[in-house]
């Protein structure tokens, strides 16, 4: 193995491990500010460092510091301290590891060697995700049970029942999808979606299997314990459910785990139904072939986009009451300068691409970076959908939840399998 191989392994693993963690900050920020804006209030925007609020991102930092320095207590009534402590670890670990099989760029070919751009290069793909997503509920059940608390155990039981009734429609929705793709390997699935249907529609899972997509997304919401399926938490009826006895960093690990799980399931939804890392209408081959025109196009559009973005920052980042020498205007100026600096850096990188030989490793790396950006953009949009749904739909009642799972989603998923199989058999 050459030095490059080791470097690529380190790069891939660290990407898979740290990107979900970094996205937690973005998710929490999007959740809180987004919730504010959905409800016509402003969300947390007062925390600042030397007057710099960074649109409320500083609040995350202060929350993190608060949670890290809080007293970490375990109540005396808790008998099974080992299970009590291991429960949040299970939730967090399974969430992080389930992202490891998601490819975030097409296979990178540098010279003679090729690199699978995913954390753990295994062929298990979607099976790995299903296994670990199912396992994460053990953490919640263990937390509820070991809390020795009625609310806790109710939350854990609800979560267990919910997972049983939603794993099945999820698995069945996947069956019809896998019949279409003919593989469980997520990288091959993403490559399949790079093709075009009738020559002009991207062959995404969402277009080939819309019913399967709806069922899978609903089941994924239930799997992540997000509203409208957050019965395990149910703060209005069972206080906080499974994490009612948890405080400080143990609670924070649950919290992180929830958001990482949201990121991982968004990534899976993207990979299965929305083309994964594929740029719409441009497959990896054509991206490498047209690397220079694309780089040139990006060089033109980036400053244009930044111009409007700067205008928006300038308009939004002001005090909404009369104030002499508004410090927020100065703040906005600094932000705009930082963003322009970033744009200049990107322009320089794109310029290097323009002067490199076409079709070489530089173009391959450029395409890989482009696909990583596309992937992250799509995942961010999916996370936004999660947040959007959370602040729109109220929580399901428990019997409604079971009814939806068993009487609606399960028959629909079965019907979808029959129709898909019939069509696939008829076409082949």
Q: Interface residues with other proteins (CB under 8 A)?
A: 34, 36-42, 214, 315-316, 319-321, 323, 388-389, 391-393
Which CB sits closer to other proteins, 36 or 134?
36
Which CB sits closer to other proteins, 157 or 211?
211
Neighbouring residues of 212: CB distance < 8 A, sequence distance ≥ 6 = 173, 174, 176, 177, 205, 273, 413, 416, 420
Which CB sits closer to other proteins, 173 or 238?
173
Q: 49 - beta bridge partners?
A: 52
Neighbouring residues of 272: CB distance < 8 A, sequence distance ≥ 6 = 126, 174, 177, 186, 189, 205, 216
Smallest distance, Å, CB 401 to other proteins?
12
265 and 223 Cβ atoms separated by less than 8 Å: yes
Rounded Cα–Cα distance for residues 304 and 306 (Å): 5
Which CB sits closer to other proteins, 68 or 377?
377
Smallest distance, Å, CB 133 to other proteins?
23
Q: Nearest CA to 204 among 270, 248, 296?
A: 270
Please list, residue by residue across 312-332, b when 16 or more beta carbons sit within 10 angstroms of its beta carbon and e when fewer do: ebeeebeeeeeeeeeebeebb
Cis peptide bond prior to 228, omega within 30° of 0: yes
Smallest distance, Å, CB 331 to other proteins?
14
Residue linked to tokens 């460092």 = 49
Smallest distance, Å, CB 29 to other proteins?
14
Which CB sits closer to other proteins, 42 or 358?
42
Which CB sits closer to other proteins, 83 or 391?
391
Rounded Cα–Cα distance for residues 259 and 255 (Å): 7
Which CB sits closer to other proteins, 370 or 387?
387
Residue linked to tokens 């209408």 = 281
The DSSP bridge pattern shows strands 196-197 and 108-110 to be unpaired
Rounded Cα–Cα distance for residues 90 and 94 (Å): 6
215 and 169 Cβ atoms separated by less than 8 Å: yes
Residue linked to tokens 């009487």 = 407
Smallest distance, Å, CB 255 to other proteins?
23
Smallest distance, Å, CB 381 to other proteins?
13
Which CB sits closer to other proteins, 199 or 322?
322
Smallest distance, Å, CB 262 to other proteins?
18
Smallest distance, Å, CB 64 to other proteins?
25
């Amino acid at each position: 193995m050459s030095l490059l191989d080791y470097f690529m392994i380190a790069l891939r693993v660290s990407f898979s491990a740290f990107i979900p963690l970094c996205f937690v900050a973005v998710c929490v920020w999007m959740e809180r500010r987004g919730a504010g804006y959905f409800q016509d209030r402003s969300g947390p925007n007062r925390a600042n460092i030397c007057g710099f609020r960074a649109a409320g991102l500083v609040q995350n930092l202060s929350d993190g510091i608060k949670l890290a320095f809080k007293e970490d207590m375990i109540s005396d009534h808790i008998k099974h301290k080992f299970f009590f402590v291991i429960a949040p670890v299970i939730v967090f670990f399974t969430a992080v590891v389930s992202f490891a099989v998601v490819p975030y760029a097409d296979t990178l070919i540098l010279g003679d060697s090729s690199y699978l751009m995913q954390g753990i290069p295994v062929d298990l793909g979607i099976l790995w995700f299903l296994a670990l997503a199912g396992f994460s509920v053990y953490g919640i059940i263990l937390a509820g049970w070991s809390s020795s608390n009625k609310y806790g155990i109710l939350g854990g039981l609800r979560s267990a029942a919910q997972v049983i009734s939603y794993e099945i429609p999820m698995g069945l929705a996947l069956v019809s999808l896998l019949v279409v793709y003919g593989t469980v390997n997520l990288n091959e699935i993403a490559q399949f979606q790079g093709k075009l249907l009738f020559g002009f529609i991207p062959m995404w899972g969402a277009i080939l299997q819309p019913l399967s997509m709806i069922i899978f997304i609903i089941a994924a919401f239930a799997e992540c314990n997000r509203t409208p399926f957050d019965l395990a938490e149910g703060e209005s009826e069972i206080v906080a459910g499974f994490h009612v006895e948890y405080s400080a960093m143990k609670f924070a690990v649950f919290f992180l785990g929830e958001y990482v799980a949201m990121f991982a399931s968004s990534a899976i939804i993207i990979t299965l139904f929305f083309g994964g890392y594929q740029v719409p209408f441009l497959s990896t081959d054509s991206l490498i072939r047209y690397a220079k025109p694309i780089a040139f196009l990006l060089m033109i559009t980036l400053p244009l986009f930044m111009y409007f973005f700067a205008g928006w920052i300038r308009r939004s980042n002001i005090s909404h009451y009369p104030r002499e020498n508004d410090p927020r205007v100065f703040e906005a100026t600094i932000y705009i300068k930082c963003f322009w600096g970033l744009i200049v850096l990107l322009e320089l990188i794109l310029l290097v691409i323009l002067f490199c030989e076409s079709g070489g490793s530089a173009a391959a790396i450029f395409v890989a970076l482009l696909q990583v950006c596309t992937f992250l953009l799509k995942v961010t949009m999916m996370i936004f959908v999660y947040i959007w749904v959370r602040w729109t739909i109220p929580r399901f009642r428990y019997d409604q939840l079971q009814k939806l799972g068993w009487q609606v989603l399960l028959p629909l998923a079965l019907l979808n399998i029959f129709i898909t199989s019939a069509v696939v058999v008829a076409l082949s």
